[in-house]
Amino acid sequence: MTKNRPGLQAKGRVTLKTIAEATGLSLSTVSLSLRGGTTLKQETRDKVAAAAEALGYVPDRAGVRLRTGKTNVLALVLDGAEDSIDFARQMIQGIGQALQGTPYHLNVTPEFDRHSTDTIRYILENRTADGVIITHTGPRDPRVQMMIDADFPFVSHGRTEFYTPHPYHDFHSEVFAATAVERLARKGCHRVLLVIGDDSTTNYQNIVTAFYKAAARNGIETTLLERTVGVTPAEMRSRGIELSRSPGRPDGVICDSEMRTLALLGGLMEAGVAIGEDVHLVYKQTSGILPTMFPHIDSVREDIVGAGVELTRLLRLRIDGAPVEQLQTLAEPQPQWRSD
């Protein structure tokens, strides 16, 4: 059912002409406003947006594409195997916030094979979007290479090792790792375990390298619990129990995922380990769930909603032709120290 405001009556299909007649503005002004024209006064843009919503205006995407060659669609190729709590919802929420008041809509495609290029190839061959956001990039990510070769607008949530620069926004994971190590060193930890996931991502390499460097600076003995992607929460909980009983048990733990942190905590606590006394822990926080359950455990926060907003900003700039070198940003970690 079409929602109409008093004084606005829609008869049949709502078009740009319908909105022009309802607002008293020219057809070209209405068209420019609905395309996100920033040269118009905000008052005019608000007037057009309000009338379009009240009349129930729906853009004719086929017509837009024929006239302009644009789809007014952005595609998010989202990692389907992500093990951070609430990552997908927050990423989509951030992108949605950034798209409010613009002509763009969002299509989301989950991908469960990080080495697959099928989704990107489909978008490129059929031009189903004006630009793409991808997550969880690898050092030589074939999806990135494919879009660079096609000169297609995209931005990645994560860095790569390609010589050719491309737009990206990334969590400054090197700072996360170093900050976590230094926090545990101040707490008197001497043996620190890093629990980390998929070794095919650039993020993995950045964290591990920074972890070893920071540990060496602080005279800390290190251990790595890696390749934990695909490990179920029950299996991770069992590893926590095994860890509690191992000789030379670490007195500090750094974890790069909330899901892994939660499962590991379950195993350690079941085995009688006192968190904050026997073992100190710092984890990467991406939601408010763990701080609610464990309010005294330290974390370093990554703002996923903010990442979605920034990725959208960078992609729109790239679509508009901004130079790649101006479209590379890092989000600084936010320490959340909760224990004395």
The CATH code of the domain that includes 291 is: 3.40.50.2300
Mark whether 296 and 312 lie in a shared domain.
Answer: no
> Does residue 58 have a pLDDT over 80?
no
> Does residue 113 have a pLDDT over 80?
no
- The pLDDT of residue 279: 95
> Does residue 146 have a pLDDT over 80?
yes
Question: In which band, very low, low, confident or very high, does the pLDDT at 15 lie, cut at 50, 70 and 90?
Answer: confident
Residue 308 lies in a domain: yes
Nearest to 296 by CA among 241, 261, 255, 336: 336
- Of the listed ranges 124-128, 152-156, 180-184, the one predicted with least confidence: 124-128
Q: Do 198 and 136 form a contact (C-beta atoms < 8 A)?
A: yes
Nearest to 246 by CA among 193, 299, 170, 302: 193
Mark whether 127 and 196 lie in a shared domain.
Answer: no
Mark whether 202 and 290 lie in a shared domain.
Answer: yes
Mark whether 240 and 324 lie in a shared domain.
Answer: no
- Where residue 54 sits, what CATH number does that domain have? 1.10.260.40
- The pLDDT of residue 60: 60
Give the predicted TM-score (pTM) of the model. Answer: 0.79
- The pLDDT of residue 147: 96
Residue 263 lies in a domain: yes
Q: Please write the tens of the pLDDT for every residue from 219-275.
A: 999 988 866 667 788 998 999 999 998 888 999 999 998 989 999 999 999 999 999
Mark whether 297 and 177 lie in a shared domain.
Answer: yes
> Does residue 69 have a pLDDT over 70?
no
- The pLDDT of residue 284: 95
- Could you give the count of Cα atoms lying within 13 Å of 257 in the half-sphere of its Cβ? 25
Mark whether 96 and 197 lie in a shared domain.
Answer: no
- The pLDDT of residue 16: 79
- The pLDDT of residue 66: 43
For the stretch 321-324, contacts whose Cβ atoms lie closer than 8 Å and that sit 24 or more positions apart, written own/partner, are 324/165, 324/166, 324/167
- Of the listed ranges 31-45, 52-66, 150-164, 321-335, the one predicted with least confidence: 52-66
Highest mean pLDDT among 38-42, 185-189, 194-198, 223-227: 185-189
Mark whether 189 and 111 lie in a shared domain.
Answer: no
- The pLDDT of residue 340: 67
Mark whether 118 and 155 lie in a shared domain.
Answer: yes
- The pLDDT of residue 38: 65
- The pLDDT of residue 286: 92
Mark whether 249 and 177 lie in a shared domain.
Answer: yes
Domain total for the chain? 3
Mark whether 241 and 324 lie in a shared domain.
Answer: no
> Does residue 4 have a pLDDT over 60?
no
- Provide the percentage of residues in the chain whose pLDDT is more than 70: 89
Write down which residue in 10, 39, 58 finishes a domain. 58
> Does residue 63 have a pLDDT over 80?
no
Residue 148 lies in a domain: yes
Q: Please write the tens of the pLDDT for every residue from 83-93.
A: 667 889 999 99
More reliable by pLDDT, 169 or 201: 169
Mark whether 166 and 311 lie in a shared domain.
Answer: yes
| Structural domain range at position 44 | 1-58
The residue-averaged pLDDT of 141-164 equals 95
- The pLDDT of residue 167: 97
Residue 254 lies in a domain: yes
Q: How far is CA 173 from CA 196, 287, 293, 320, in A?
A: 12, 17, 24, 29
Residue 337 lies in a domain: no
- The pLDDT of residue 65: 52
- Of the listed ranges 2-6, 36-40, 49-53, 291-295, the one predicted with least confidence: 2-6
- Of the listed ranges 112-116, 153-157, 214-218, the one predicted with least confidence: 112-116
The residue-averaged pLDDT of 25-35 equals 80
For the stretch 118-123, contacts whose Cβ atoms lie closer than 8 Å and that sit 24 or more positions apart, written own/partner, are 119/77, 120/77, 120/146, 120/147, 121/146, 123/75, 123/152
Residue 338 lies in a domain: no
Q: Identify the residue whose tokens are 């489909």.
A: 122
Residue 257 lies in a domain: yes
Write down which residue in 21, 40, 58 finishes a domain. 58
Q: Which residues of 98-135 are buried (b: 16+ CB within 10 A; e: fewer)?
A: bbeeebbebeebebeebeebebbeebbeeeebbbbbbb
Mark whether 177 and 269 lie in a shared domain.
Answer: yes
SS3 of residue 87 by DSSP: helix
Residue 296 lies in a domain: yes
How far apart CA 307 and CA 88 sit, in angstroms, is 12
Question: In which band, very low, low, confident or very high, does the pLDDT at 14 lie, cut at 50, 70 and 90?
Answer: confident
Average pLDDT, the chain: 88
Helix ranges (H only) for the chain are: 16-23, 27-34, 42-55, 61-68, 87-99, 118-126, 142-150, 173-186, 202-217, 233-245, 258-270, 289-293, 304-319
